[in-house]
């Protein structure tokens, strides 16, 4: 059973690689970013609240995201594995997730850190052309990542769950390296 958490700065390729690997392994790719963007498009209460934070490049508050993740992990398609992309983003969320997975008796997750330099991720994100991908917002998101999310690398490393992959390669090279490190 494969349970993976993808970490890395915005634009490192987490979504692209998580989707490719999920398709290969026939497990769901659970992207909190996609779920939040859909909620914004649908103008749900969660979406309206989330948009205020995302427009500034800030993280959506933990409780909103935690409730959404808990609900998603209990769906039948996640029974035999999943890839989480965009959660956890803070050590507090990682602690919540660890407790949730222990409660669900599914706490054998591995964490993949897709590492890529700032100049590469800024170029990639500017090339996407999304509303929240203006350069000043991207730089703010990188600062938020370094402050709030990068500590997860140490957190999961200390728990011997961390696998690091060079995200500054072609998509095919990253996918091949991912398959090697997770032994599929």
- Catalytically active residues, by annotation: 14, 89, 128, 130, 141
For residues 128-153, one letter each, b for 16 or more C-beta atoms within 10 angstroms of the residue's C-beta and e for the rest, the string is: eeeebbeeebbeebbebbeebbbebb
Determine whether the annotation assigns residue 58 to a binding site. yes
Determine whether the annotation assigns residue 2 to a binding site. no
Determine whether the annotation assigns residue 72 to a binding site. no
Determine whether the annotation assigns residue 126 to a binding site. no
Determine whether the annotation assigns residue 25 to a binding site. no
Q: How far apart are CA 163 and CA 91, in angstroms?
A: 17
Determine whether the annotation assigns residue 132 to a binding site. no
Determine whether the annotation assigns residue 59 to a binding site. yes
From the list 88, 70, 58, 63, the residue with the least C-alpha distance to 151 is 88
Determine whether the annotation assigns residue 3 to a binding site. no
Determine whether the annotation assigns residue 130 to a binding site. yes
Backbone angles phi, psi at 179, to 5 degrees: -60, -35
Determine whether the annotation assigns residue 11 to a binding site. yes
φ/ψ bin of 43: left (φ > 0), alpha (ψ from -120 to 50), beta (otherwise): left
Determine whether the annotation assigns residue 146 to a binding site. no
Q: List the binding residues for ATP.
A: 11-16, 128, 169
Q: List the binding residues for AMP.
A: 32, 37, 58-60, 86-89, 93, 130, 141
Q: List the binding residues.
A: 11-16, 32, 37, 58-60, 86-89, 93, 128, 130, 141, 169
């Amino acid at each position: 059973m494969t349970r993976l958490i993808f970490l890395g700065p915005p634009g490192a390729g987490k979504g692209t690689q998580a989707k490719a690997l999920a398709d290969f392994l026939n497990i769901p790719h659970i992207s909190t970013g996609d779920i939040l963007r859909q909620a914004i498009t649908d103008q749900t209460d969660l979406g309206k609240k989330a948009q205020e934070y995302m427009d500034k490049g800030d993280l959506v508050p933990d409780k909103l995201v935690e409730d959404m993740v808990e609900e998603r992990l209990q769906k039948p398609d996640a029974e035999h594995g999943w890839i989480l992309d965009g959660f956890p983003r803070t050590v507090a969320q990682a602690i919540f997730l660890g407790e949730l997975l222990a409660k669900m008796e599914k706490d054998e997750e591995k964490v993949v850190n897709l590492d890529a330099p700032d100049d590469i991720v800024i170029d990639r994100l500017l090339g996407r052309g999304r509303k929240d991908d203006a350069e000043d917002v991207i730089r703010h998101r990188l600062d938020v990542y370094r402050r709030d999310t990068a500590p997860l690398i140490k957190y999961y490393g200390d728990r011997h769950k961390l696998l690091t992959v060079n995200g500054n390669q072609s998509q095919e090279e990253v996918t091949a390296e991912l398959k090697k490190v997770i032994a599929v």
